[in-house]
A and B are shown apart, each in its own frame.
Chain A
């Protein structure tokens, strides 16, 4: 059913259709309207059986999520920014314990300086935490990725973050096609945990593992993610047969055939990039887009395959790996290693800086002329920077 609603509300409705049994969240900034909405649904009995646990911090939110998941309940939470950082210790436990928790990250910058606006620094800081990270381009994909996330998480017993741009998507009203309960129920079977804590049949979960087996545990975690990588395209194909839409998958390509220049990015900025690429295509430029959906696991081999004929790639990061450049660039660089492709890193949109078509076009044209620096900060105010450097 088509609806014109806020991104957060769309995700809340999609999460509710997935019948979570426990939702825990810390209801203060940086929180989203998502938990506000699902909280209301639980209170009004629209989402039942489900327990909403109002916790005292984000650390507690993830800890409660771990507890409820290990007890066999389908578990959901949401956070962003410093809230995500506050739960980090528990985040690693959730993945180490192989718990299929689904969490929305409404991507926002990390302080200091204090900043509430959008970029990808928060979830990308959890790059190596063992969680799957799926990035949404628009609100339709944001809600669809949640539907895919519960299925993926439970099939593999792996936690999944669904990342959607804070404010830009969470607060945007746009058209979404909301699935029916019947569609969701045919897609997502009831959660059957592989192992639960049960007082009648006591076991220990999360015991000490010494040097003799720790590497093996981590190897198994790694190989599981590689299996997730194989499964994601299959689930996207199945999603299309059930819901009739292309959503999910490892990545989306746009006008990439015959492209000499390919822009690689993630999240909502892909929309502005595609509009810019259309303008440049109209002027005869051979340019295309690779939009990454699955940031973790990262589809290295698949990215290498689709980019191997490009002359140059511009990797547009909404994050900064201080001291080296873009967080996602590192992965793309590795995927393309040894190929004769010029690679440019652009760091853009930090702390909510608007990314305009005009600025995008400028850097893309510079890259075509080999005039772009290896690492470029989009729209950097050089006057301000130079004053500080001189002082």
Chain B
């Protein structure tokens, strides 16, 4: 079972991201379970959503406490919320920022994790350019697909089409592809990745 925890703020599509990830996994024949942390449904408030992906039926209902990947949609949460809590040592990190890990002040903190699995993605800029508004969730999913090999980009596209239509869907698809390509270009050689 692969477990993903998504952190962000109300209004950034955190819950939608988890739902889309589950749809993408479903499209590939996997079992998937997406659910939000409930309660803080206010714009701007810290929000967490979860997604489990497995080749077997998923029965577990507890929140994800030891994720295989964390997606951080809002870098202002990095110093406010324990976003890396329980993250497995070989886990993946995706942060929405156009800055370096050093510039956002977490390079030292992340030393204990595999550096080749930590990705920064300028998801705000990508979504503004392609969708016309801040929707960092989709580019981050594109990046997740590129780095994790757990879901294909085409499944993310299918999930986008399930959730959106018309121009919004088109823009999001372009945004997902752009993030996907940029992360693919960044990926280290296979021997380093699977070391």
Contact = CB atoms under 8 A, between A and B. Distances in A.
Contacts of A168: 35, 61
Interface stretch (B25-33, B106-114, B115-123, B141-149): B25-33
Contacts of A138: 59
Contact of A174 (B33, B36, B62): B33
B36 A269 contact: no
B172 interface: no
B38 A173 contact: no
A272 B19 contact: no
A357 B62 contact: yes
A275 B61 CA distance: 10
A195 interface: no
Contacts of A167: 35-36, 38
A163 B26 CA distance: 26
A138 B35 CA distance: 13
Contacts of A354: 62-63
Interface string A47-89: 0000000000000000000000000000000000000000000
A336 B65 CA distance: 37
Contacts of B65: 356
B62 A272 contact: yes
Contacts of B35: 167-168, 171-173
B30 to A, nearest CB: 9
B34 to A, nearest CB: 4
Nearest to B59: A271
A117 interface: yes
B163 to A, nearest CB: 11
Contacts of A4: 22-23, 26-27, 32
B82 interface: no
Contacts of A2: 26
A269 B23 CA distance: 23
A272 B59 contact: yes
Contacts, number: 65
Contacts of B31: 174-175
Interface residues of A, number: 26
A173 B32 contact: yes
Contacts of B36: 167, 171
A30 interface: no
A116 B60 contact: no
Nearest to B38: A167
Nearest to B25: A4
B39 interface: yes
B38 A171 contact: yes
A274 interface: yes
A93 interface: no
A237 interface: no
Contacts of B18: 173
A24 B38 CA distance: 26
A96 interface: no
A116 B38 contact: yes
B159 to A, nearest CB: 9
B61 A173 contact: no
Nearest to B24: A4
Given A116-B39, A173-B23, A355 B34 contact: no
A303 to B, nearest CB: 22
A275 B59 contact: yes
A383 B77 CA distance: 29
A175 B26 contact: yes
Interface string A321-350: 000000000000000000000000000000
B104 interface: no
Contacts of A274: 59
Given A4-B32, A173-B34, A271-B61, 13 more contacts: A4-B22, A4-B26, A116-B38, A117-B39, A138-B59, A167-B36, A173-B32, A173-B35, A174-B22, A174-B32, A268-B61, A354-B62, A355-B61
Interface of B: 18-19, 22-23, 26-27, 31-36, 38-39, 58-63, 65
Interface of A: 2, 4, 6, 116-118, 138, 167-168, 171-175, 268-272, 274-275, 352, 354-357
5 contacts: A116-B39, A138-B59, A167-B35, A171-B38, A270-B59
